[in-house]
């Protein structure tokens, strides 16, 4: 036997305890370099000084990469142990160790992940599968999402499989469910095999988007415009965003691209601010009528009265929140962007003056007077302008016929116990008298009190501001007219409440800031304003 050199002495001394060890562990214990250790172990195994495990073992290792997090990889390795004299094989803890034999073949009891994926595609060659579906089918053999495309790309280069995704000009991206993969039959003519593979992917893509999302939005936008123009209507940008279920930026990209590709799609800007779209089949008198209807709608929803009405709701909410101890406002998520979360949609079991199925109340809040008392729920409705009996009755009907606040009695519908309606109006008609008997009439305030309804007036809020120290000329009506939106109402009230002596100066600052808003509202109110069609 040849003499032992320092490397062999170190390695054999580590293996002398009889416990099998891997090359990496031996290198760590001896202090040798990993490549030196592995070369030496192979050499000693060939010289029949040590035994090596017949089966190659596998272990998942994780490496920390700093900011990149952890990377994991599957490591394959053998175990080594000393060879007893006159023995060519050994079993340790159920693992067989063998001596080196010439022409010995590597034995692997488990099929590799690559072979499992390839066999799955070959056996199921009649169908096409998304990469995520392959992972679900082979999860029992340890296949992960990261194992699929790294192997499939190799087979794609060799012509075994067809891979489909969203096709762009310079690249291909996966579908939402991953890349679509199918087997190419090598027995058939190459052209026929590729045609068959494409047909299989087409069947798998039925009712799915088969192209880039932006191009898909372009096609859907064109369909929306064609449908609306056939119904003699214009399509707004907000409607496009909701129909395509995408952000405003994504919708604008698709719209601009569609206007470039299709010359029959037209755009018109109403009041130089709101984009609407139509097809060229809508022209002449029908186009003018559609534009006129949209302008009237914009005047109603974007005009001065609408802004002040919403600001009045914020005024009432702010004072209620400040002066009501323990008030917990309801909130609700809305599909329409920009709608206040505190404005609540309730369900109706019967239509009320044109409202079918649903109605809106401006605010709902709960107050718990004490631990032993049931909570009281207040429902607020606001109106900017003179309030009449018709407005009060309309609000009471909504409460009675709502699923949330009404209850059925023996002969009619009533408001549930513990529900209190609150009506906030900038002014109530002082001359309106309600006849309750033949010769008996009462005021609107008395009528509301009899119906268990509370009335809040602008004068009630103004008195709180004046008690705080604001000047006599400052009022909540002025704040409503000056503020741009509900958020600005809250900002103004907070600043005035902190420094009431600066109230007039604060309002003047916001009035200067909102000049463009006032100018736009005056433009909406201008008569016979015709928006040019592009």
What's residue 427's pLDDT? Answer: 79
DSSP 8-state assignment for residue 348: B
Specify whether the CB–CB gap between 276 and 294 falls below 8 A.
Answer: yes
What's residue 530's pLDDT? Answer: 47
What's residue 146's pLDDT? Answer: 85
CATH class of the 213-302 domain in this structure: mainly alpha
Q: Taking all residues of the chain, what is their mean pLDDT, rounded to a whole number?
A: 84
Rounded Cα gap, residues 442 and 302, in angstroms: 38
**Helix orientation angle between 503-513 and 515-525, rounded to the nearest 10 degrees:** 60
Tokens of 265: 């799609």
φ, ψ of residue 528 to 5 degrees: the values are 55, 40
Do 6-98 and 113-204 have matching folds?
yes
252-307 pLDDT, tens per residue? 998 998 898 888 999 998 888 889 999 998 888 889 998 888 888 888 778 888 88
What's residue 492's pLDDT? Answer: 92
C-alpha dihedral, 190 to 196 to 199 to 204, nearest 10°: -110
What's residue 104's pLDDT? Answer: 59
* Global pTM value: 0.53
b vs e for 277-289, b when ≥16 Cβ sit within 10 Å of the residue's Cβ? bbbeebeeeebee
pLDDT beneath 50: ranges in the chain: 1-2, 107-110, 530-534
Rounded Cα gap, residues 81 and 22, in angstroms: 9
Q: Where are the domains of the chain?
A: 6-98, 113-204, 213-302, 304-522
- Determine the topology of domain 113-204 in CATH: Arc Repressor Mutant, subunit A (1.10.10)
The CATH number that domain 6-98 falls under is 1.10.10.10
471-505 pLDDT, tens per residue? 888 999 999 999 998 889 999 999 999 999 998 99
Query: Where are the extended beta strands (E) located within 259-389?
Result: 265-270, 274-279, 328-329, 344-347, 358-361, 363-367, 376-387
What's residue 212's pLDDT? Answer: 66
The residues pairing with 72 across neighbouring beta strands, listed in sequence order, are 62
What's residue 143's pLDDT? Answer: 86
What's residue 482's pLDDT? Answer: 92
Residue with the two structure tokens 């291909």: 172
- Determine the topology of domain 304-522 in CATH: Trna Endonuclease; Chain: A, domain 1 (3.40.1350)
Residue 460's H or E segment, with its range, is helix 458-468
Tokens of 378: 């207040």
What's residue 488's pLDDT? Answer: 92
């Amino acid at each position: 036997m040849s003499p032992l050199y320092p490397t062999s002495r170190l390695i054999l001394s580590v293996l002398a305890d009889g416990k099998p060890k891997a090359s990496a562990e031996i290198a760590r214990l001896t202090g040798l370099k990993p490549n030196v250790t592995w070369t030496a172990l192979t050499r000693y195994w060939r010289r029949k000084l040590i035994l090596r495990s017949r089966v190659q073992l596998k272990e998942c290792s994780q490496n920390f990469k700093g900011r990149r997090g952890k990377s994991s990889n599957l490591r394959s390795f053998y175990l080594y142990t000393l060879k007893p004299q006159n023995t060519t094989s050994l079993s340790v803890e159920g693992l067989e160790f063998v001596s080196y034999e010439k022409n010995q073949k590597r034995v692997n009891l488990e099929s590799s992940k690559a072979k499992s994926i390839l066999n799955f595609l070959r056996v199921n060659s009649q169908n096409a599968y998304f990469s995520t579906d392959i992972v679900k089918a082979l999860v029992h053999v340890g296949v992960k999402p990261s194992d699929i495309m790294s192997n499939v790309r190799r087979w794609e280069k060799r012509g075994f499989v067809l891979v489909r995704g969203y096709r762009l000009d310079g690249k291909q991206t996966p579908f939402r469910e991953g890349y679509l993969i199918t087997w190419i039959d090598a027995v058939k003519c190459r052209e026929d095999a590729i045609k068959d593979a494409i047909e299989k992917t087409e069947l798998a893509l039925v009712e799915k988007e088969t192209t880039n999302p932006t191009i898909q939005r372009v096609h859907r936008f064109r369909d929306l415009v064609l449908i609306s123009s056939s119904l003699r209507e214009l399509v707004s940008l907000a409607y496009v965003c909701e129909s395509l279920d995408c952000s405003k930026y994504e919708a604008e990209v698709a719209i601009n691209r569609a206007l470039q590709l299709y010359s029959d799609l037209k755009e018109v800007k109403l009041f130089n601010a709101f984009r609407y779209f139509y097809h060229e089949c809508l022209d002449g008198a029908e186009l003018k009528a559609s534009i006129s209807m949209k302008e009237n709608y914009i005047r109603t929803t974007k005009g001065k009265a609408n802004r002040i009405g919403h600001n009045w709701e914020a005024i009432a909410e702010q004072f209620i929140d400040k002066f009501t101890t323990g008030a917990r406002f309801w909130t609700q998520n809305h599909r329409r962007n920009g709608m206040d979360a505190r404005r609540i949609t309730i369900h109706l079991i019967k239509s009320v003056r044109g409202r079918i199925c649903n109605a809106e109340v401006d605010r709902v809040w709960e107050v718990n007077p004490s631990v032993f008392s049931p909570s009281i729920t207040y429902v607020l409705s606001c109106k900017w302008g003179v309030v009449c009996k018709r407005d009060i009755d309309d609000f009471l009907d909504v409460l009675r016929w709502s699923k949330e606040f009404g209850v059925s009695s023996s002969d009619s519908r009533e408001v549930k116990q513990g529900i209190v309606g609150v009506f906030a109006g900038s002014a109530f008609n002082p001359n309106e008298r309600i006849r309750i008997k033949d010769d008996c009439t009462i005021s609107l305030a008395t009528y509301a009190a009899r119906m268990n309804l509370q009335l809040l007036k602008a004068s009630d809020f103004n008195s709180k501001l004046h008690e705080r120290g604001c000047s006599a000329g400052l009022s909540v009506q002025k704040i409503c007219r000056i503020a741009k939106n509900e958020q600005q109402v809250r900002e103004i009230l907070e600043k005035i409440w902190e420094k009431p002596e600066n109230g007039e100066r604060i309002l003047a600052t916001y009035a200067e800031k909102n000049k463009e808003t006032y100018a736009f509202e005056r433009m909406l109110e201008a008569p016979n304003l015709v928006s040019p069609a592009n």
